[in-house]
Each structure stands twice: as structure tokens, then as C-alpha cells.
Chains A and B, each alone.
Chain A
Amino acid sequence: MSLTNRATPIPDAGPRIRVHGLTVTQDDPVRPRTLLSDVSFTVDGGQSLAVVGESGSGKSLTVRAALGLLPPGLTAFGEVVIDGHRVDNDPRTRRAQRGRVVSLLMQDPFTLLNPLRQVGKQIADGLMHSSAARRSAAGRAQEVARRLAEVGLPAEIGQRYPFQLSGGMRQRVGVAAALAGDPRVLITDEPTTALDVTTQREVLALIRSIQRERGMAFVLITHDLRVAFSMCDQILVLYAGRVMETGATAAVRERQLHPYTHGLLRAEPPVDRRLAVIPTIPGSVPAHDDVIDCCAFGERCALAQERCQAGRPVPVPVSPGRSSACIRVADLPETDSTPADPTPVAATIAKPGGVIRPRPALVQVTALRKAFSGTQHPALDGVDLTVGPGEAVAIVGESGSGKTTLARCLVGLERPDAGQINIGGIDCADYARLSRNDRIRVRRLTQMVFQDPYSTLNPVLTIGATLREALRCDGLPADRQAVADLLATVGLPAEMARMRPAGLSGGERQRVAIARAIAGRPRLLICDEPVSALDVSVQAQVLTLLGEVRERFAMAMLFITHDLAVVRQVADHVYVLRAGECVESGPTGDVLDHAHHPYTRKLLLSVPNPDRDWL
């Protein structure tokens, strides 16, 4: 087969991967569905394309269909040409191309490597075509070392097993393995979503530099427009299984030609200033077939008109190299050159000498320690924390920093080894020793919102039953009206009380979880990464809601997060945690604008930034 003949390289000009009219359907006998329709793109050698969209937009499906990796039950239609060969109807060529011509880097570094094999061997699997590797074990070892060096890892890592490596190192190994066959096309599916922010930046920079060095065609799937901007030359925005907008990065950054792209970019809160209102996109992503004969974004679009619902818009060229599926593209506001720019207000004013914090404190934590058996480092190593009444405090740090452990100690889900916790005048260091009355008092003072919206609600109980129980527990009447009021507080319709969690979207579930937590009007609401599992547009809605309830019920809020942009929007005071120690704390404006500790500065640099030079 000519495609394996490396002596006659195909000239770099011309498309390395071309996808035309890609459509994916689910062949269910009861309810056949279309999941993706009419996606087309082309990537030349040395060029890069970002496929951007929220969950359910069909971005992973696009590359899986293009690579012939769809799960059973799904069928792809459309033309796929990779490296000059049409492969959509040629499974043999497609198989031969995998690894050598086109390679895929998966999302989750924790499962992409075989846990029972040394990582060097897993890289060597892809090297079998190279003559040096084929000839001898020594040659192979040398080649593996060279590949490891390319991704910035020392050669001895090759002897290790995946569980001995951190997430970032595993994803580097994943990159090395994906590149072992010297592919001409590299496709990455959210390669850094599971990683910490600082690691994300390093891995992204690594992938970009290798891609440029080798002149590969590169496709990046991401939900984050800011990452897409800093990584790729071209942008393709998907929504509900359709193309909304395409264009060169610089042009899209300059001006978005579809309200969805615009909204998506605005919904990412900036890290450098606090917004009076975080722009949100109302609603959530519909299924492809629910919006088959109208604009997919119409229901959520501020500019929607009668004619947007009249037919299904297709992407049409707007200017050279750009297309948009918005029929009102001519009416889009011109003046939106800065992506996130709704009435910036002065950030919390940093007063010299510190801000006077409300006294007496609602929560006072002193020298808290907690170690889990079987780990080397303590999860918390002497942390002090103060939360005043009505104050919004953020705890920020990466995974392993102890931020979640701190929150769980506060509510009594973990028992600290040492240190004091005082909540509302009650000593809560050991919940088991509290008297019954004290425990009830503390529980009514503090409630918690959890990270994962999909397991935060009991799947067998209706929303109404969950909320009724919450009201009863907090000693309140639990009638239909009370439940309806509670749902209204979090912006949900009263009819939702009859539904079970499975019928709700992630954002709706998180709203219900917030309603459950605030049912008894606690004075402190602890939010453990409440928005990190949500889509950008929904994240902004939930953040706004949290701000509203906090103001309305004068609650203090403790925000556990890894995202400094979120901290900037919600918190008055911030604590930066690293490996169980607080490295810096102070008023949000002070800490984020004049970070003293190098770790805080590193975190700040890691927040994706639509500027070209972020990486």
C-alpha cells in the first residue's frame, strides 16, 4: 500500500484530513435519531483546527466518526479523506493508517494507559515500523528514551508503571505513545480536561510545540474557546450536532459571527476583573432532533426572530474563510471586539493594610490537621481559616491541595486529627461528641453543595420528595407550596417537583441541590466545585444563582474551586492552598492582582486566556 511508503512523502500542501458532510445516526428500531449532521472541515499539514462545543454538541462524535471509531449502533455517512486516501468506505486502509498516518490522543490520562504494563513498552508498541526499533531491543530502548525526552520526561520513566506517574506525566506518555508512529495527523480529544490547571498549560504547550515542529495536521477537541484560540489556526464551533461557525482564529477572536460563539466566549468569566453580572446563556443545549427544523440556538438566542424558527439555517460563507449559520449575521452587533466585555466594574477595591473583616467570625478554623492512612503527605497541614457572617470566601488549589478535605472537615464528613473548628460558637472539631441539640444547630447553620450533579440527588426520589425531606429536616412546613417556592428561588418551575433526577440536565440538578441546601436558610453554604462539572453557559447561570441566593438570604459562602476566574467573580476573600498548607490569603483583589507567592502566580498564569501568547 502506497500510504505506508515513506520514501515518497506526500507534499505538505493540500489537505491531510478532509471531512465532508459528516452525519451520524443512531439506528434504534424504536426511535432512530440523528446525532450529528453535515459537518465539514479540512486541515492541511502544519495547520490546526479546534472543534469547540459544549457537552452534547457532537464534537467527540465528529472525530470518532471521522476515524471510524463509532460504538455499535451508530452509523456515519459522509466523505472522509485522510492523507489523500478516501477512507470512509475503506476499512482496510483505515486500519493501516491508524497510528502511522493518523493518531488519536484520548481525554482521560488515568485510563488511557494499560495499568499492567511499563509505559516504555506501551510507547514501543507504536514504534514497530521504525527500522531501529525493529532490529534490536537496544535500539528500541534508545528510541523510547528519545520519545520520552521529546515530551520532557527522563528516560527512566519508561520502566515505570502508569500508577507510579502523576496525571500530567501520564498524559505526556500518552502524547509520546500517540506520536510513536510518526503520524501526519494528530487528533486530541479534550487532552487536558482531567488535568490540573497548571499541568493543563504545560501539556497544551507541549502538544503545540511538537505539532509545529513536526508539521502535523492537528485537530483539537475542546469545550474551552480560550484554549482553542491559543492552540489552533482554525475554529469550528459545534452546537447540537451542527456547525455554527467556522473561521480563522484571529478573525473569530476579533469578532464572533454567531451569537452562540459570542455567548460561549462571554460566559467564561475573566480572571482579571470582577463583572457586575456574569453573562449567561439561558437554557441548555438541546438534542439534535429537537431542533431539526429551526435554528438550533434559537431558543436561547437574544437576537432570535420569527424567521429564525422558520427553517434550518446552514453555514454560509460570510467573508473569505469564514462562515456562519446565523441568518441574522448582518444584524449582529459590530462593537464586540473585546470578547468578554459587559460593563466591567471596579474589582473589590484593595485597601492598603487589609480589609476590615466582619467580627465575630462565623467560622474559625485553627491549625487544622488531617492525614489519611496510606499517604505520605497530610491532606491538611495546619490550616487556619476565617469566614465572617455574610462573607464569600474562596479556597483555591489544585487536586491534592486539601481544599475538599477542609470543607468535609467543616461539615463533619471527615474528622480532623488535630486543630479547632468553631462554627457559630460551637466547637465542631469532632461531630461525634456534639450533643444532639448542638448537632442540629450546626447542621442548620451549615449546608453543602457537592461537585458532581449526577450523583448529588437520590435517583429514586422525585425532586419534590427530596425537597420536602430537606424542608422537614430543617423544621419547616413541607407542603406543595413550600416546595414550589423553594424551586422558584433557584429558578425552576414548580412542575419539576414531580420529576426524577434522571430527567434533569446537569445544571438543573445542581439548582435542585442548591435548593436542598438552602431550604433551612443556613448561614453558611459550602460549595465544593459546584460548577466544575457543568458546561460553560450553565456554569455562568449557576454562579449567578449562587450570588443571588447569597445576597437574598445574607449567607456566608465558602467556595472550593480550582478556577481563579470563578474566585474573582464570587469571593471577597481568598485562601490559596497547596499540599495541605495555606500559601497565601487575603482580599480577592489583593491576592489576584498582586500575588506574592510564586504558586499563586503560577495558578494565575494557568487560567486560559484568549490572547495568542497564553501558551
Chain B
Amino acid sequence: MTTTTASRRSLTRHLPIRLRGQRGPGLAVWLAAAVVALASVAALCASLLVPDATHQDLLVGITGPGPGHPLGTDDLGRDVLQLLIAGARTAVCGAFLVATGSMLLGNLIGLPAGYLGGWVDIVAMRWADLMFSLPSLLVAIVVSGVLGGGYALSVAILVVLFAPGDTRVIRGAVLEQRTRPYVEASRLKNLPTWRIMTHHVWPNVAPVAVANAFLNFAYALVALASLSFLGLGVEPGSPDWGRTLSDNRTQLFTNPWAALAPGLAIILTAAAVNILGDWLYERFDARGTTR
């Protein structure tokens, strides 16, 4: 009997935390995952799924949802559903690039700023303050307007504009970890500073960084759409959620689906990514908080 109780206890102890009586993902998380999966498939396989999404048929013109065109067609006779699928490519990929790019930049600056302190911290934080003091969307509009716009430029501008937020978040998380005994113990072991930063501190702030990247993804999706809406993102005529929304906004009352569908796609994807990010954060962070 002793052995059975002992082994029962140690068995549960050896299990990874996530298997030990933690609740599974709820319905909202599953739905969010489904939305993100759909958007990703559309983004990656758009050219296969809808090779001629921008095909115009002026003779068809505006039609409501019906057979052949589940979401109807817009004023140029383009199929709205096909536009939606094709538009995922620029909308989702761009947002993904912005979120990852700013996360990388934020980590590269925030980790040394938080851990080393001193002038590194001062320079990094004043830079972040400066960036925060600028109205970001306005800067993006001005810069891409002056440099001639374009999709790649919009993405690059957004990376630079989003990075200070990431930097601050990472720095804050690093400051919290820096004084923990496990970091001090590594210092006492004479570990090189870069190794303490990358090997000890970073894995413990990574959940924060990832969660923040998910948040940024949603913001970037909306920001890119806004730039495209203003005509500063993708080329005119190319399928993109923001662009389609902009092109079709005049039909909002006559042909609502042509404008609502891309709008809803933006909102749903942004919300889904947020929910998923929240859930991932809670799941990964449980590792550190479990006593």
C-alpha cells in the first residue's frame, strides 16, 4: 500500500503541468483557433484557391448573395467571397510580419535595456518615449506618402512604430526577473551576461513577449487595413481586406456584403488572435506560477 500511494503521488508529480487537472481550452478558444486557421489557410493558399479573384465582369455588376456568388459581387462584378479569400494574403501576412518583426526588435532592445540598465536603458527608453510621442498612424501616412507608399514600406513602417511598445513590455518583464534569486545565482556562477540574458531571463519573459505579439498582430491587422483603406498600402485594385473595404464602402447600403464582409473578416481575425494569444499566455505562464 505504501508503494502504491507513493507511486501515485510521484506519478502525478512527473506529469507536465498542463496535464495536471488544468482545464482544457473553452469554446471561445476553439472558435478563435478555427477562425485563425481559416485565415491562415486563405493567406497561404489564396493563389491556389482563387486564382482569378480580381476577375472583373462589368456586365454582371452588383448582385446580392445568391447561387454562384455566396456573398454577391461588387460594382466591378468581382466575386466578394473570392476577394475575401485572396485579400487574406496581404492582410494576414502583413500583420504577421509586423507582429514578429516588432517582437524581435523589441526583444533585441528590451532585454539588454532591462537587464543591463544604465545608459543602455536610458537610451532605449528615451527612444521609446520619442516614438510614443509621435502619432503613429499619422507618421505612417506622411512617411509612406512621401516615399511613395507601397505594401512593403507600410509593413516596415509599422514594424518600427510597434517596436517601442514591445521594448517597454519586455523591459518591464525583464526588470521583474532580474532581481530573482535564480538570476543572482547565475551571476554568482560567473555565467557570461549574455548567457544569463538569453538562457535564464529570456525564457521567463518569452510568454509575455509572445502574448504581446498576438496583441500587436490584431493592431497591425487594423493598422495595415487603415493604410490600405487610405490608399497607402497595397496597389489599387489588388485584393486586400482594407482595400476592398475602402473600394466598396460606397455600396454599404446598396450592396452591404461587399463592404461588410472584409470589415467583419478584419474584426473576427483580430478578435480571434487576441483570444488565442490570451489562452496561450495563460497556458505557458502557468509553468512559472505553479508553486
Contacts and interface: CB of A to CB of B under 8 A. Distances in A.
Contact of A309 (B1, B14, B22, B203): B1
17 contacts: A286-B5, A286-B9, A290-B9, A294-B1, A299-B6, A304-B2, A309-B5, A310-B1, A413-B187, A440-B190, A447-B189, A448-B184, A457-B182, A459-B288, A469-B186, A498-B14, A513-B185
Given A413-B187, A454-B291, A458-B200, A309 B8 contact: no
Contacts, number: 98
Contact of A473 (B1, B22, B191, B204): B191
A351 B185 CA distance: 38
Contacts of A450: 181, 184-185
Given A290-B8, A459-B287, A502-B287, A474 B180 contact: no
Given A413-B184, A450-B185, A503-B14, A459 B204 contact: yes
Interface of B: 1-2, 5-6, 8-9, 13-14, 17, 21-24, 180-182, 184-191, 199-200, 203-204, 287-288, 290-291
Contact of B287 (A309, A457, A460): A460
A64 interface: no
A447 B189 CA distance: 8
B191 to A, nearest CB: 6
A502 B1 CA distance: 27
Nearest to B201: A458
B200 to A, nearest CB: 5
Contacts of B200: 458, 461
Interface of A: 28-31, 286-287, 290-291, 294, 298-299, 304, 309-310, 411-413, 439-440, 443, 446-448, 450-452, 454-461, 469-470, 473-474, 495, 498-500, 502-503, 513, 516-517
Contact of A456 (B2, B185, B291): B185
Given A304-B2, A456-B185, A473-B190, 8 more contacts: A299-B5, A443-B190, A446-B188, A458-B182, A458-B203, A469-B186, A500-B17, A513-B185
A370 to B, nearest CB: 17
Contact of B23 (A30, A446, A451): A30
A294 B5 contact: yes
A469 B189 contact: yes
Contacts of A309: 1-2, 5
Nearest 5 Cβ contacts at the A-B interface: A450-B181, A31-B21, A309-B1, A473-B189, A460-B203
Contacts of A451: 181
Contacts of A457: 182
A460 B285 CA distance: 10
Instruction: Identify which of A29, A457, A460, A499 gathers the most chain B CB atoms within 10 Å of its CB.
Output: A460
A474 B22 CA distance: 39
A452 B287 contact: no
Contacts of B190: 439-440, 443, 473
Nearest to B288: A459
Nearest to A306: B1
B204 A458 contact: yes
A197 to B, nearest CB: 23
Contacts of B6: 299
B287 A500 contact: yes
B105 to A, nearest CB: 23
Contacts of B204: 458-460
B117 to A, nearest CB: 14
A503 B13 contact: yes
A30 B21 contact: yes
A440 B287 CA distance: 33
A28 B182 contact: no
B181 to A, nearest CB: 4
Residue from A310, A455, A461 having most chain B Cβ neighbours under 10 A: A455
A455 B180 contact: yes
Contacts of A517: 185
B278 to A, nearest CB: 20
Contacts of B1: 294, 309-310
A186 B282 CA distance: 39
Nearest to A452: B181
B2 A502 contact: no
Q: Kindly name the residue among B188, B203, B204 whose own CB sees the greatest number of chain A CB atoms within 10 A.
A: B188
Contacts of B203: 458, 460-461
A293 to B, nearest CB: 8
Nearest to B191: A473
B17 A448 contact: no
A411 B185 CA distance: 10
B288 to A, nearest CB: 4
B238 to A, nearest CB: 43
A470 B8 contact: no
A572 B239 CA distance: 80
A447 B188 contact: yes
B5 A456 contact: no
Nearest to B204: A460
A546 B88 CA distance: 62
A367 B5 CA distance: 56
A405 B30 CA distance: 51
B21 A28 contact: yes
Contacts of B181: 450-452, 455-456, 513
Contacts of B23: 28-30
Given A299-B5, A450-B184, A470 B21 contact: no
Contacts of B188: 411-413, 443, 446-448
Contact of A460 (B2, B22, B187, B288): B288
A558 to B, nearest CB: 14
Nearest to B202: A460
Contacts of A411: 188
Contact of B17 (A287, A458, A502): A502
A498 B24 CA distance: 25
B182 A443 contact: no
Contacts of A448: 184-185, 188
Nearest to A516: B185
A206 B291 CA distance: 34
Contacts of A498: 14
A326 to B, nearest CB: 17
Contacts of B13: 499, 503
A287 B24 CA distance: 23
A502 B290 contact: yes
Contacts of A290: 5, 8-9
A4 B204 CA distance: 53
B5, B9, B24: residue with the most chain A Cβ atoms closer than 10 Å: B5
